[in-house]
Amino acid sequence: MASNPGLTLLRKSASDEAPPAVLPGDDGVAKLIDVSKCIGCKACQAACLEWNERHEEVGFNVGSYENPHDLTAESWTLMRFAEWDNPETGNLEWLIRKDGCMHCADPGCLKACPSPGAIVQYANGIVDFVSEHCIGCGYCIKGCPFNIPRLSPVEQVVHKCTLCSDRVAVGGGPACAKACPTHAISFGSKAEMKTLAGQRIADLKSRGFEQAGLYDPAGVGGTHVMYVLHHADKPEIYSGLPANPHISRLVGVWKGAAKVAGLAAIGAAVVGAFVHHLLAGASVVSKEDEQKATHLAEGAD
């Protein structure tokens, strides 16, 4: 699908077009996932598949509620179930986190992408993959700090959650939020979502979850999908949510210094060769060389 004409583009992969002016103070839209309200029903997964017309294969049970077993090129969101033995209370806590694209303000996928316009970031913060420009190289998978994009073995393009950019473009919210029966998923402006999260966190704290907090990691410039966590001091216990996600330094080297230094070195070598030829002139075999060779060969005969 093409990039959405209903949304203003902020950034495009592999291109340095100047971004449009964004209203100051407008930090776009956000999805807030309240982990403490989630009951793990997977209505969001079903709604995502249905709206985006994806078809997950029938799986098999290996003793986990997770189904499928990982994000796939079809399932762009996945309930991850973790059992955590709380050492302070002795309670076994069932932590269910809806995994999927975090829509980073500083998207590693977009930085890694070599194909102009295959990954776009809209002014409202949504990071979207544009399949018609995707070449299926998988660089975005290496760029992502959350291990989200999945290469489709059928289409040979990479997919992930679009934050229902097509629905948002016409004033709707994401299909998952619409389907959630407990209002664990909310959608609105990022400012509204932060206010809502603040209320939820205050409520959780009043009920004994002293470390309740908002997951909006600064390492990637904040995200447009945020979590309310009851144990925000330990995000890893939620099926490996990274505590301090950031774009790998290797991706920075690869897409920054290496690109410039690599082309500069190649350019310098070509220029150096030209200059050498200008100064040194061609290395030419003389008649004398030929005569000496003939002499040597005849001496052998």
Partner 1 sequence: MSAASLHKAPSGEAVVVDRYTGLARANHWVTAISLILLALSGMALFHPALFFLTALFGGGQFTRIIHPWIGVVLFFSFAGLFIRFWRANLWEREDNVWLASPGAVLSGHEERLPEIGRYNAGQKLVFWGMTLLILVLFVSGLTIWDTYFFAYTSIETKRAVVVLHAAAAVCAILIWIAHVYAAIWVRGTVRAMTRGSVTGGWAWRHHRKWLREEVAKGRADGG
Q: Which residues bind partner 1 (CB under 8 A)?
A: 14-16, 114-116, 118, 133-139, 141-142, 147, 151, 153, 156, 248, 250-251, 253-254, 258-259, 261-263, 265-266, 269-270, 273, 276-277, 280-287, 289-294, 296-297, 299-301
Minimum distance between the CB of residue 141 and partner 1, rounded to whole angstroms? Answer: 6
Structure tokens at 66: 């997770």
Q: In what order do the strands lie in the sheet with 29-34?
A: 185-189, 29-34, 225-229, 213-215
DSSP 42: -
Minimum distance between the CB of residue 197 and partner 1, rounded to whole angstroms? Answer: 30
Q: How many CB atoms lie within 10 A of CB 91?
A: 10
291 and 182 in contact (C-beta within 8 Å)? no
Structure tokens at 139: 């660089």
Q: Which lies closer to partner 1 via its Cβ, residue 89 or residue 283?
A: 283
Q: Which lies closer to partner 1 via its Cβ, residue 183 or residue 287?
A: 287
Minimum distance between the CB of residue 172 and partner 1, rounded to whole angstroms? Answer: 32
* Separation CA 66–CA 48 (nearest Å): 16
Q: Which lies closer to partner 1 via its Cβ, residue 211 or residue 294?
A: 294
189 and 29 in contact (C-beta within 8 Å)? yes
Q: Which lies closer to partner 1 via its Cβ, residue 53 or residue 288?
A: 288
* Separation CA 276–CA 272 (nearest Å): 6
Minimum distance between the CB of residue 285 and partner 1, rounded to whole angstroms? Answer: 4
109 and 217 in contact (C-beta within 8 Å)? no
Minimum distance between the CB of residue 62 and partner 1, rounded to whole angstroms? Answer: 17
HSE of 271, CA atoms in CB hemisphere, 13 A? 6
Q: Which lies closer to partner 1 via its Cβ, residue 62 or residue 285?
A: 285
Minimum distance between the CB of residue 290 and partner 1, rounded to whole angstroms? Answer: 3
Q: Which of 199, 187, 192 is nearest to 225 (CA)?
A: 187
* Separation CA 125–CA 69 (nearest Å): 29
Q: Which lies closer to partner 1 via its Cβ, residue 152 or residue 189?
A: 152
Q: Which lies closer to partner 1 via its Cβ, residue 136 or residue 172?
A: 136
Minimum distance between the CB of residue 259 and partner 1, rounded to whole angstroms? Answer: 5
